[in-house]
Amino acid sequence: MNTKQKIAGIDVTGIVAAKPTTGEPICEWVDPRSLYVDHEYQRKVGEKGLRQIRRIVQNFCWAKFKPPVCAYSDHEGRTVLMVLDGQHTAIAAVSNPYINMIPIMIVDAPDTQSQASAFVGQNTERVGVTPLQLHQASVVAGDPEAQTVELVCARANVKIVKSVPGGAKYQPRETIAISSLRGLIDRHSAPGARRILEVLADGGLSPITSQHIKAGELLMSDKEYASRFEPADLSIAIGELFLTAEDEAKTFAHMNRIPVWRALAAVWFRKTRKKKAMRLAS
């Protein structure tokens, strides 16, 4: 059976092909020690990254080598090559005493914004780059949606951390739930999302997770719930249940066969002080 097939185009009817607006990339051999990386939009190498680099060094093979993507950039008054994609590969090459030069691909991305945008493009469909990392790069690249997420969180006094802290020890009001934040804004607009986040943040959650966001969204947006309490009282209940709510919700979810976030909403709602019913004068 012949498994080899010549590369062929696909039917692109209905779409408009993009004409490249930047110059064609070029390939060069360089000393990997001459390369730089911008941590404004790229993560620093953590323990997981160090393990990956050690594996690359230990099993270095040109047949498996993927040239880092770089761009010329100004740094301290001189022109340097900035790594847009392939930071671990470049570090592994520097760490291997048998490697003096590596091939790289140089693309046209002269400033930080265009370099961050290129980083997003390189990693959007690649396993291993988290939504949090892509979000940070998108902010630097000037992406409107990413900047809206940052603005909403800032106004709600919520901090999006740039990386998972050591030991996963978060501070109150911190979050990494990027996908949930985007969805919340899409469904309720920026002001509505901010009101929900403010309630969660005032409850002292650390971190604010996707489960918290879903539970808070249900209670704050469903009239059956929202009409029966003040937002400040929900925050108080969340704070008082900080150590027990998650376990209670898991038990409740298992018993009633419902999602944990919905069970969490029920636990919070049960604890929240309710508004007093208005009595009409007879």
Q: 144 vs 42, which has greater pLDDT?
A: 144
Is residue 151 domain-resident? yes
Q: 176 vs 121, which has greater pLDDT?
A: 176
Specify whether the CB–CB gap between 110 and 119 falls below 8 A. no
Amino acid code (one letter) for 41: Y
Buried/exposed code over 23-44 (b: 16+ C-beta within 10 A; e: otherwise):
eeeeeeebebeebebbeebbbe
Is residue 108 domain-resident? yes
**113 and 159 belong to one structural domain:** no
First to last CA, the chain: 90
The per-residue pLDDT for range 254-272, each reduced to its tens digit, is 999 999 999 999 999 999 9
CA distance 138 to 142: 6
Find the range with the poorest average confidence among 122-126, 145-149, 216-220, 251-255: 122-126
In the block, tokens 């988290």 appear at: 130
CA distance 201 to 217: 13
Total tally of structural domains belonging to the chain:
2
Res 128: pLDDT = 63
The CATH number of residue 67's host domain is 3.90.1530.10
**201 and 242 belong to one structural domain:** yes
Specify whether the CB–CB gap between 234 and 221 falls below 8 A. no
**118 and 209 belong to one structural domain:** no
Buried/exposed code over 176-200 (b: 16+ C-beta within 10 A; e: otherwise):
bbbebbbbbbeebeeebbbebbbbb
CA distance 118 to 138: 10
Is residue 69 domain-resident? yes
Q: 96 vs 79, which has greater pLDDT?
A: 96
SS3 at position 70: strand
Res 115: pLDDT = 65
* Assigned token pair, 92: 């592994």
Is residue 278 domain-resident? no
**40 and 155 belong to one structural domain:** no
Find the range with the poorest average confidence among 2-6, 10-14, 145-149, 183-187: 2-6
**155 and 251 belong to one structural domain:** yes
Mean pLDDT confidence for 176-202: 97
Mean pLDDT confidence for 151-157: 97
Domain range enclosing 63: 26-122+132-140
Size of the chain in residues: 282
Is residue 13 domain-resident? no
Strands 35-36 and 78-85: parallel
The closest of 167, 168, 165, 137 to 150, measured between CA atoms, is 137
**136 and 154 belong to one structural domain:** no
Res 52: pLDDT = 93
Q: Which residue, 96, 113, 140, sits at the end of a domain?
A: 140
> Above 70 in pLDDT, residue 49?
yes
**198 and 220 belong to one structural domain:** yes
Specify whether the CB–CB gap between 231 and 195 falls below 8 A. yes
Res 6: pLDDT = 92
Identify the top-confidence range among 121-130, 131-140, 193-202.
Answer: 193-202
Interaxial angle between packed helices 144-155 and 131-140, expressed in degrees from 0 to 180 and rounded to the nearest 10: 100
**85 and 174 belong to one structural domain:** no
Q: How far is CA 237 from CA 198, 227, 228, 261, 267, in A?
A: 14, 16, 14, 16, 9
Res 212: pLDDT = 98
**91 and 150 belong to one structural domain:** no
Q: What share of the chain in percent tops pLDDT 90?
A: 67
* Assigned token pair, 249: 């919700």
Q: Which residues contact 73 (CB under 8 A, 6 or more apart)?
A: 36, 38, 79, 80, 81, 82, 110, 111, 112, 115
**154 and 199 belong to one structural domain:** yes
Mean pLDDT confidence for 194-208: 97
**205 and 93 belong to one structural domain:** no
Is residue 222 domain-resident? yes
Is residue 86 domain-resident? yes
Is residue 213 domain-resident? yes
**109 and 187 belong to one structural domain:** no
